[in-house]
Amino acid sequence: MSARLRIAIQKSGRLADKSLELLEAAGLRVLKGANELLYRIENAPIDLLRVRDDDIPTFVGDGVADLGIVGLNVLEEREDGRSAEPVQVMNLGFGKCDLKIAAAIGFDYKGPRSLQGLRIATTYPHVLNRFLAENGVTADIITMRGAVEVAPRLKLANAICDLVSTGATLEANGLAPFETVLRSEAVLIRAPKQIEPELAK
Ligand code: PRT
Ligand code: ZN
């Protein structure tokens, strides 16, 4: 058994650099070697597992990694059911964004009831479904893999539910946000099983 702690981080994307910076600021010297999947830490028994962000909750839930850094939105959306739930340790203060419902500018929103019977396109069907259920609303959820913001223009949906940071993408597509479904940022998660004490030091 290797006695090295494994931390799963996003390989490339919006959280990748900030995750590395955070670990470096904590004093870890990262060896960016030839192995793309695993970066070794020079001054501590730690390896960084570099993967797609969507896989991080599963790796940590299964204990393949001891810790992980992932967007709360990804953690909340996952409905794996096979591996155990990772434990949320703390918010990390970067990667901030909101999962919002938006529609064409001028849409007359009077609260969640205004969504009744609409077609809403999203890459977050589980989180959206929970929000609608909590508010007693029935709507048609159209699950897309990306480019959700074009759905209203293509008449695929009346509204969308997507991540927003600056709001520029919505604006460029003639959309305006009117409801926040989830406030998100990068979070530190840990495996459900306690980490070996000598590794946690
Ligand atoms: O390859 P991999 O699967 O690992 O990465 P990914 O492409 O799935 O994710 P990535 O790198 O795009 O985002 C990683 C995480 O960054 C997300 O899960 C969020 O937690 C966080 N984050 C923060 C964002 C945004 N801000 C964000 N603005 N993720 C996506 N966006 C997108 C949004 O979907 C929309 O298309 O940016 C667009 C809107 O941005 P604004 O600034 O125009 O509002
Ligand atoms: Zn992803």
- Residue 84 Cα to ligand 1 midpoint, Å, equals 25
What is the full DSSP assignment across 33-81? -S-SSEEEETTSSEEEEEE-GGGHHHHHHHTSSSEEEEEHHHHHH----
Compute the mean pLDDT over every residue in the chain, rounded to the nearest whole number. 95
β-pair partners for 102: 160, 177
Task: Return the residue matching tokens 């979070």.
Answer: 187
Tell me, what's the pLDDT at 201?
57
What are 17-60's pLDDT values in tens digits?
Answer: 999 999 999 999 999 988 899 999 999 999 999 999 999 999 99
Higher-confidence residue: 116 or 84?
Answer: 116
Residue nearest to atom 21 of ligand 1 (CA): 95
- Ligand nearest the Cα of residue 75 is 1
Residues 117-170 pLDDT 10s: 999 999 999 999 999 999 999 999 999 999 999 999 999 999 999 999 999 999
Ligand 1 atom at minimal distance to the Cα of residue 123: 34
Q: Is ligand 1 within 6 A of the CB of residue 160? A: no
- The β-bridge relationship of strands 175-184 and 97-104 is antiparallel
Query: What pLDDT sits at residue 39?
Result: 97
In the block, tokens 């839930």 appear at: 61
Say how far apart CA 185 and CA 74 lie, in whole Å. 10
Task: Find residue 39's DSSP bridge partners.
Answer: 48
